[in-house]
Chains A and B, each alone.
Chain A
């Protein structure tokens, strides 16, 4: 089937997800299944371009329905619970030091660890016979992905001392990949 058909399927899928959101779980699940079929079909038909336009069409359809829901939302005098902000501003020197150490671990340390991991993986890929172009692109693509994953893991840890493991693991993995072969 052609990509235009997949685009229409993606839009219809999101409408089913919306319709099923009110409690008809089977309908919503069906919508997601159709969305997956549309994405796969568009990829088979037109590669990455087909996948991109199909996802875009589905996203646009979902957003349009969301904006409509916002437009028709009834007025209610509901007040939010008074909860603390998820993060407080540092007041004491120890808190400032903790924040600085988090920044150092999450930004330069994690960046270098991710870069080393990416470099190690491309080295292993080269030894495994990958063409040079692919090895170069692995380095360039993998670094931001690895860095983002490390950040996500670090920022769900309880404190700075527990944020060391993620970049350390990435660095060790990078060394393993670099030395393999």
Chain B
């Protein structure tokens, strides 16, 4: 006998989503849209905090000097200009002064860049192509520069949006502040790492995201102001912050007197440290000199001191003591790059940056695992995400090995993006191949091999590059040991 069924129909409508639920949904939406490129930006950003030290690591066998005297700077400029006879005359000549991070002097013109020794003699070509490749990936994702800066700046704003929605979606933020269940279920551990690291890196993430957005999106605002106030000319708008340049005069003249300018700057501003000596339009009557000098215990990247072609002081821009807006703008760069407190601050930035990488990586992994547990698992999506997280460092290392094998002019950008695309295609075609566990092991082994290979093949003799090799090898070994025997496809 078939008894009639009584079918209960719901008589109540679902409760509207709470602010916490809406914030979590919004947080997830932004995260899914932006996480892959955000992760790449965060990882490369963490690496290039110590870009000067990477430069030294990449080319370890260059003669070094702790300082460059005024006479040597003059000699360096003269030598480089003489070496460029027959090439188009450079419009700018930069001398990067030696610093503790990079105890080398570099002369850069429109035609190339050269290391010079303590006497100002050219000793080699500046060819840290891999370091510059990583910087370019972080700053503009290898897009055309202005567009790329805007895109990366927009990602900075997305990151701030993630921070705010993440906090709103986290009502137990204080109660759970130090609760971290690393040895529970993988998903619980993942959630705790995501939330705890997200909270404790918050001040750092806000600072780097907003300063990065200011730097990246600045061209848009500047263009708008130019159209409103200066008939479309952007140089006068930039000049309100960075100073005006004298009118050019292309008539030929002897090279500027850098030595006098450097000595004058030292007298004018004792206690400051010149980082760049810049000759504008060298060898012309309209030439002039700028010296950028660091001020101790300041966030500004430096003050710009102006001199004419004879080295006579013509004042300063006022980045150190001018209008508050100028000081704030000049401070954004160091606050973003983490070079305002020596190695200690750089290491803190690297660790906090790696924390951000973990937050970004675990966010999407959390979402994928929640779907899997509800029966919506996509092996392909999981494989693609594993490629993003562990394939990015692999592709960075592949570019490094290409640079080592084929020289600084090798196509590193094409190699990186081509390899990433190939790995993603492979992940879609063979998702069981691209597990997080396997790719993590390969990436860690590749770091270990690279550190060992660098030490064996280039034989650095300076402490900095040796330390990088050691730390990389130990870290990779620690990862391999910590995750030994982990075979699940469901780890990050």
Q: Does A128 contact B (CB under 8 A)?
A: no
From known contacts A85-B367, A86-B25, A87-B367, infer whether A152 and B161 are also in contact, taking CB-CB under 8 Å. Answer: yes
Contact, CB under 8 Å: A63 / B351: yes
Residues on the B chain within 8 Å of A133, using CB: 240-241, 322-323, 325-326
With a cutoff of 8 Å between Cβ atoms, the chain B residues found around residue A103 in the complex are: 33
Q: How far is the CB of A78 from chain B (nearest CB, A)?
A: 5
Chain A residue with minimal CB distance to B25?
Answer: A86
Report how far A76 CA is from B186 CA in the complex, Å.
11
Q: A17 to B178, alpha carbons, bound, how many Å?
A: 10
Q: Mark A41-57, 1 if CB is under 8 A from B, else 0.
A: 00000111110110110
- Nearest-neighbour CB distance to chain A for B171, whole angstroms, equals 13
Q: Is the CB of B157 within 8 A of A66?
A: no
Contact between chains at B355 and A63 (CB < 8 Å): yes
B328 on interface, CB distance cutoff 8 Å: yes
* A102 located at the interface, meaning its Cβ lies under 8 Å from any Cβ of chain B in the complex: yes
Task: Report how far A18 CA is from B174 CA in the complex, Å.
Answer: 11
> Contact mask B171-194 → A, CB, 8 Å, 1/0?
000000111111111011001010
With an 8 A cutoff between CB atoms, is A62 at the interface? yes
Contacts of A157 in B (CB 8 A): 22, 26
Closest Cβ of chain A: how far from B329's Cβ, in Å?
A: 5
A24 CA to B328 CA, complexed, in Å: 40
B23 near A155 with CB under 8 A, answer yes
* Chain B 436-490 residues near chain A, CB threshold 8 A: none
Q: Are B221 and A74 in contact (CB under 8 A)?
A: no
Which one, B182, B185, B210, B298, contacts A49 given CB within 8 A?
A: B298
Q: Is B252 positioned at the interface, with any CB of A under 8 Å from its CB?
A: no
- Nearest CB on B from A140, distance (A): 5
Complexed CA–CA distance, A99 and B348 (Å): 38
Interface residues of A in 138-159 (CB under 8 A from B): 138-141, 143-145, 147-149, 151-152, 154-158
A-B contact count (CB 8 A): 211
CA–CA, A27 and B25, complex, Å: 35
Measured CA separation A171–B221 after assembly (Å): 15
Asked if A85 and B200 make an inter-chain contact with CB atoms under 8 angstroms apart, the answer reads: no
Among B40-48, B54-62, B211-219, the one that faces the other chain is B211-219
Q: How far is the CB of A156 from chain B (nearest CB, A)?
A: 5
Tell me the minimal C-beta distance from A66 to chain B in angstroms: 6
Bound complex: CA of A75 vs CA of B189, how far in Å?
11
CB distance from A73 to the nearest CB of B (A): 4
- Given contacts A86-B25, A140-B214, A151-B30, A59 and B204 within 8 Å (CB-CB): yes
* In the bound complex, CA of A75 to CA of B188 (Å): 12
Q: Is B28 in contact with chain A by the CB < 8 A criterion?
A: yes
Contact between chains at A143 and B221 (CB < 8 Å):
yes
Which residues on the B side are within 8 Å of A138 (C-beta)? Answer: 325
B19, B187, B322, B348: the one contacting A60 at CB < 8 Å is B348
Interface magnitude class on chain A: 35 or more
Q: In the complex, which residues of chain A have a beta carbon less than 8 angstroms from the beta carbon of B187? A: 80
| Distance between Cα atoms of A70 and B196 in the complex (Å) | 10
Please judge, given known A-B contacts A48-B299, A49-B298, whether A132 and B196 are in contact too, CB under 8 Å: no
Q: Are B161 and A102 in contact (CB under 8 A)?
A: no
Indicate if A83 sits at the interface (CB-CB under 8 A): yes
Residues on A with C-beta less than 8 A from B348 are 56, 59-60
Q: Is the CB of B23 within 8 A of A156?
A: yes
Closest CB of chain B to A103's CB: distance in Å? 7
Residue B203 at the chain A interface, CB threshold 8 Å: yes
Does the CB pair A118–B19 fall under 8 Å? no
Tell me if B331 and A48 are in contact (CB < 8 A): yes
Interface: B419 (CB within 8 A): no
Contact A155 B351 (CB under 8 A): no
Give every chain A residue within 8 A of B24 (Cβ-Cβ).
86
Please give the distance in Å from A67's CB to the nearest CB on chain B. 9
A52 x B28 contact (CB < 8 A): no
Of the candidate stretches B70-78, B270-278, B369-377, B390-398, the one touching chain A is B369-377
Q: Is the CB of A85 within 8 A of B370?
A: yes
Does A95 reach chain B (CB closer than 8 Å)?
Answer: no
| B233 at the A interface (CB under 8 A) | no
How far apart are the CA atoms of A32 and B29 in the complex, in Å? 33
Contact yes or no, A83 B196, CB < 8 A: no
Residue of A nearest to B373 (CB): A82
Chain A residues with CB under 8 A of B322: 133
Q: When chains A and B are docked, how far (Å) is the Cα of A67 from the Cα of B355?
A: 11
CA A50 – CA B296 in complex, angstroms? 11
Query: Is A124 close to B, CB under 8 A?
Result: no
Complex interface: stretch among B2-10, B133-141, B222-230? B222-230
The answer on a CB contact under 8 Å between A144 and B213 is: yes
Q: How far is the CA of A80 from the CA of B388 in the complex (A)?
A: 26
CB distance from A25 to the nearest CB of B (A): 10
Pick from A56, A71, A76, A152: contact of B181, CB under 8 Å: A76
Docked Cα-Cα span, A85 to B29, in Å, equals: 11
CB distance from B122 to the nearest CB of A (A): 36
6 contacts between A and B (CB under 8 A): A66-B178, A83-B370, A85-B374, A122-B225, A133-B326, A136-B325
Given A85-B370, A85-B374, A152-B164, output 12 extra A-B contacts at Cβ < 8 Å: A53-B340, A59-B203, A78-B184, A80-B191, A86-B27, A115-B221, A133-B322, A134-B323, A137-B326, A139-B224, A143-B221, A152-B168
Question: Which residues in B have some Cβ–Cβ distance to A below 8 Å?
Answer: 16-17, 19, 21-30, 32-33, 153-154, 156-158, 160-161, 164-165, 168, 177-185, 187-188, 191, 193, 196-197, 200-201, 203-204, 207, 210, 213-214, 217-218, 220-222, 224-225, 228, 237, 240-241, 297-299, 322-326, 328-329, 331, 335, 340-341, 345, 348, 351-352, 355, 367, 370-371, 373-374, 376
